[in-house]
């Protein structure tokens, strides 16, 4: 290999000749392999930690999905035939975790009774009941003294009326005085109470009052011999109230002598009494049948369902009409200062919706709003824009028109400028008036470009949560509705109130069932979009 001479005439060695040892081993491929191993090791470690956290919290399906995705990533980055998938791996991972799993989980929830009172698994509910205790009749009472460690743990020193003493800790058997180690019993005060128990400090009266709530919630001892604090000076012997028999799947109330049978996620007595909490179980299509067969639920749902379609359709129609009007006006060659006016009309589109809707809500306020005051000064009265069901809907449509027409103006302006001017010249020669040109030329050509966007806008407004919730929070409320529902609610806000804001309890299963119905409707709208897009293309070819 040729070498280059330096200024002193000495030949400089080739850079490759100096590569020895580690520098020769660490080629490009080797360095990339090491980087890949380290990166996947970090990903695998995070995935394992995430899996353990999820399973510990009962999210086993999501934990399994994380493990499968992690295994797939390792295969993709180590098998040459799968190298092409490396570039899609991040997107596929996010799609599975953020879209596929929530979708599958929502479908699963729609066929369960998951909601308030049924949020836990059966094993968790049984464990809660088995931890409950009661005070048996004739049980012995104790006076107690509390000791607290620096770590926040407690010990009770118990003294019975018969003069016997005991030491009680959490999850440990109660120890009689005679079995307590001598180091503790040798350091007693005149009342027979230890001054300290190892690192546990004896609490004075003020400290006991401070920690009384915490002490009252602790079960000292080990089942079946347990003690609980019941007052400043007293503690009682407690016994487990419920026992579970897995063979008969029944929960027995020891105190009241009642046997409860598991029925549809709730332990129920023979006379119909139900224990709370219950647990979530599969209930088939009950949520869907409730929706379509229950008169109480069907009433508000049908009103909300119809208004959802009206709101989405009218929003598209009004925003498109106003946007097209301004696009036609500012597309005229003789219109002065077009750029300035277009820029000003884009302001509603530039301001965030949650700000604009709150401004409009203030303007519609019946007491201090600008709009009611103006109408009262001109006509003597003003509609109740927030309290009346009809006028609240009109107000929402006005706000949505204000928010949406700038977008429609933009896309209509672009579409209008792409239409050849020769066809209008030909129409004028044939004697077509302006309105015939608009109907027979402009609109068909325009719909080819903006038609799919109109359908997409309909799908967006079908789930337009922001305007509905901020303007009137779905109100005014529907009278005598068994579920939280308002006259201006659309399906998405109705689902939100069912799942998270139900005054009578959240019903996640029922909300998930409605979510599936919304998904099917949006899927139908999407299918229509593809169909009618082809129709508009055929119309444009015939123009």
pLDDT digit string (tens) for 313-330? 999 999 999 999 988 888
| Same domain membership, residue 154 and residue 90 | no
Question: Is residue 63 in some structural domain?
Answer: yes
> Tokens for 96?
């599975």
DSSP labels, 17-62 = GG--THHHH--HHHHHHHHHHHHHHHHHHHHHHHHHHHHHTT-HHH
- At a CB cut-off of 8 Å and minimum separation 6, what does 358 contact? 470
Helices (H), 463-507: 465-472, 491-500
| Beta-carbon-side half-sphere exposure of residue 185 (alpha carbons within 13 Å) | 11
Question: Is residue 465 in some structural domain?
Answer: yes
> Tokens for 99?
């879209």
| Same domain membership, residue 464 and residue 359 | yes
**Residue with tokens 């005060």, as numbered in its chain:** 189
**Residue with tokens 């004028």, as numbered in its chain:** 428
Question: Is residue 274 in some structural domain?
Answer: no
| Same domain membership, residue 180 and residue 214 | yes
| Beta-carbon-side half-sphere exposure of residue 506 (alpha carbons within 13 Å) | 13
Whether residue 231 has pLDDT greater than 70: yes
| Same domain membership, residue 494 and residue 399 | yes
CATH of the domain at 96: 1.20.58
**Residue with tokens 């609610």, as numbered in its chain:** 489
Contact between 487 and 303 (Cβ < 8 Å):
yes
In this prediction, residue 393 carries a pLDDT of 94
Which of 539, 355, 505, 523 is closest to 455 using CA atoms?
A: 523
Task: Tally the residues of the chain.
Answer: 543
| Same domain membership, residue 180 and residue 101 | no
| Same domain membership, residue 162 and residue 99 | no
pLDDT tens across 475-486, in order? 898 888 777 888
Residue 225 lies in domain = 133-240
In this prediction, residue 470 carries a pLDDT of 92
What are the C-alpha distances in Å from 470 to residues 42, 74, 488, 492? 43, 46, 11, 13
In this prediction, residue 503 carries a pLDDT of 52
Split at pLDDT 50, 70, 90, the class of 10 is very low
Split at pLDDT 50, 70, 90, the class of 22 is low
| Same domain membership, residue 499 and residue 382 | yes
In this prediction, residue 4 carries a pLDDT of 47
Domain count within the chain: 3
What does the longest C-alpha to C-alpha distance in the chain come to?
120
In this prediction, residue 16 carries a pLDDT of 45
Question: Is residue 137 in some structural domain?
Answer: yes
In angstroms, the CA 424 to CA 435 distance is: 12
CATH of the domain at 369: 1.10.3720.10
| Same domain membership, residue 464 and residue 371 | yes
**Which of residues 389 and 14 earns the better pLDDT score?**
389
pLDDT tens across 504-521, in order? 567 888 888 888 988 888
| Same domain membership, residue 88 and residue 142 | no
The whole-number average pLDDT for the span 376-381 is: 88
| Same domain membership, residue 302 and residue 229 | no
Question: Above pLDDT 90, what percent of the chain?
Answer: 19
In angstroms, the CA 40 to CA 540 distance is: 53
| Same domain membership, residue 319 and residue 192 | no
Mean pLDDT of the chain: 83
Q: Among the ranges 14-23, 295-304, 351-360, which has the highest mean pLDDT value?
A: 351-360
Is the bond into 224 cis (omega within 30 degrees of 0)? Answer: yes
In angstroms, the CA 118 to CA 290 distance is: 17
> Among 14-18, 304-308, 465-469, whose mean pLDDT is lowest?
14-18
**Which of residues 13 and 107 earns the better pLDDT score?**
107
The whole-number average pLDDT for the span 448-456 is: 82
CATH of the domain at 232: 2.40.430.10
pTM of the model: 0.67
| Same domain membership, residue 313 and residue 391 | yes
């Amino acid at each position: 290999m040729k070498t280059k001479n330096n200024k002193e005439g000495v030949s400089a060695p080739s850079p490759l000749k100096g590569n020895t040892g580690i520098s020769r081993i660490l080629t490009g491929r080797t360095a990339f392999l090491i980087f890949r191993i380290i990166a996947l090791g970090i990903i695998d470690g995070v995935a394992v930690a995430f899996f353990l956290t999820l399973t510990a919290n009962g999210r086993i399906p999501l934990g399994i999905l994380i493990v499968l995705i992690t295994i797939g990533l390792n295969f993709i980055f180590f098998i040459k035939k799968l190298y092409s998938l490396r570039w899609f791996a991040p997107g596929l991972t996010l799609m599975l975790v953020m879209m596929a799993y929530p979708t599958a989980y929502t479908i699963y929830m729609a066929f369960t009774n998951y909601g308030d009172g049924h949020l836990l698994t059966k094993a968790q509910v049984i464990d809660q009941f088995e931890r409950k205790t009661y005070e048996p009749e004739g049980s012995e009472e104790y006076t107690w003294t509390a000791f607290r460690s620096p770590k926040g743990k407690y010990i009770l020193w118990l003294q019975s009326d018969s003069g016997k003493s005991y030491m009680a800790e959490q999850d440990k058997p109660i120890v009689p005085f005679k079995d307590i180690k001598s180091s503790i019993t040798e350091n007693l005060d005149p009342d027979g109470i230890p001054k300290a128990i190892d690192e546990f400090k004896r609490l004075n009266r003020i400290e006991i009052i401070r920690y009384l709530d915490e002490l009252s919630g602790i079960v000292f001892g080990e089942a079946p011999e347990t003690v609980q604090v019941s007052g400043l000076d007293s503690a009682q012997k407690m016994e487990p109230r419920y026992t579970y028999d897995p063979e008969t799947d029944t929960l027995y109330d020891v105190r009241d002598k009642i046997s409860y049978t598991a029925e549809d996620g709730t332990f129920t007595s023979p006379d119909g009494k139900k224990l709370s909490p219950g647990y979530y179980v599969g209930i088939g299509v009950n949520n869907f049948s409730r929706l379509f067969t229950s008169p109480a639920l069907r009433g508000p749902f049908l009103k909300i369902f119809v208004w959802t379609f009206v709101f989405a359709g009218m929003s598209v129609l009004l925003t498109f009409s106003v946007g097209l009007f301004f696009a036609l006006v500012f597309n005229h060659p003789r219109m002065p200062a077009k750029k300035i006016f277009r820029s000003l009309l884009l302001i509603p589109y530039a301001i965030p919706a949650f700000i604009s809707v709150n401004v409009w809500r203030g303007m519609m306020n019946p007491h201090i709003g600008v709009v009611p005051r103006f109408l009262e000064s001109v006509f003597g009265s003003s509609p109740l824009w927030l309290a009346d069901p009809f006028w609240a809907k009109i107000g929402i449509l006005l706000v949505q028109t204000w928010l949406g027409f700038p977008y429609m103006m933009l896309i209509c302006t672009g579409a209008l400028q792409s239409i050849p001017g020769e066809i209008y010249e030909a129409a004028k020669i044939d004697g077509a008036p302006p309105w015939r040109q608009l109907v027979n030329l402009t609109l068909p050509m325009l719909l080819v470009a903006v038609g799919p966007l109109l359908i997409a806008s309909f799908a967006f407004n079908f789930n337009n949560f922001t305007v509905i919730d901020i303007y009137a929070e779905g109100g005014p409320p529907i009278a005598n509705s068994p579920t939280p529902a308002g006259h201006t609610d659309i399906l998405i806000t109705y689902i939100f109130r069912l799942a998270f804001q139900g005054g009578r309890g959240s019903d996640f299963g029922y909300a998930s069932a409605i979510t599936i119905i919304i998904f099917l409707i949006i899927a139908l709208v999407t299918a229509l979009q593809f169909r009618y897009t082809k129709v508009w293309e055929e119309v444009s070819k015939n123009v």
